[in-house]
Amino acid sequence: MSRINRETGETRIELVVRPGGAPGRIETGDAFLDHMLVTLARYAGLHLEVDATGDLRHHLVEDVAIALGVALAAEVPARARRFGSALIPMDEALVQAAIDTGGRPWYEGRLPSSLYEHFLQSFATNLRATLHIRVLRGRDRHHIVEAAVKATGLALRQSLEEGGEVFSTKGSVELRLDED
């Protein structure tokens, strides 16, 4: 279980994440963000609790994504499967996500919402994951964004599964931050 308390002049976030279980209490004051966090947690198979406030919607969405990525990075098993992908249809929308939780941060994708494109980019960067999103079709912005979050969640679930071996030609990568 990882617990993050992140406070800036713009936002205050308390977040708990752990593999397994159903989403817990999520309250950000932004109904769509709450909906996307519950969706991501459910499809990823994560227990997630979030209590957050912010001065602007952009700051709130971005900072929650940062905190979630940092917290989830601590939960990636040493022998994680690493890779996952999913293709999600949602009414007229069809979105694909592919992720590698092997420690190389990158985001590539284009969503019809710059706010939620930034959410996924901030999440992937702070998770230290490579995340690619492809919108294959869709007209309704809500459906496209939600399909992208669902696809990311399912791909993430696959990538976090424990495997029997380290899935890398480099072997196990250890990264340690020594603080004085």
* Domain CATH for 138: 3.30.230.40
Domain assignment of residue 167, yes or no:
no
What's the pLDDT at 174? 63
Query: Distance between alpha carbon 19 and the CA centroid of its chain, in Å?
Result: 13
Q: List the strands of the sheet with 93-100, edge to edge.
A: 83-90, 93-100, 130-137, 106-108
Domain assignment of residue 180, yes or no:
no
Q: How many domains does the chain have?
A: 1
Per-residue pLDDT for the chain (180 aa), expressed as one digit of tens each? 999 999 999 999 999 999 998 889 999 999 999 999 999 999 999 999 999 999 999 999 999 999 999 999 999 999 999 999 999 999 999 999 999 999 999 999 999 999 999 999 999 999 999 999 999 999 999 999 999 999 999 999 999 999 866 655 666 556 566 776
Residues in a beta bridge with 99: 84, 131
- Structural domain for 50, as ranges: 2-160
Domain assignment of residue 170, yes or no:
no
Domain assignment of residue 165, yes or no:
no
Distance of alpha carbon 101 from alpha carbon 160, whole angstroms: 8
What's the pLDDT at 132? 99
* Helix segments in 74-134, DSSP class H: 114-127
Q: What are phi and psi of 2, to 5 degrees?
A: -120, 135
What's the pLDDT at 64? 98
Domain assignment of residue 140, yes or no:
yes
Q: Label the pairing between strands 106-108 and 46-54.
A: unpaired
Domain assignment of residue 173, yes or no:
no
Domain assignment of residue 175, yes or no:
no
Q: How many CB atoms lie within 10 A of CB 162?
A: 10
pTM: 0.92
Domain assignment of residue 78, yes or no:
yes
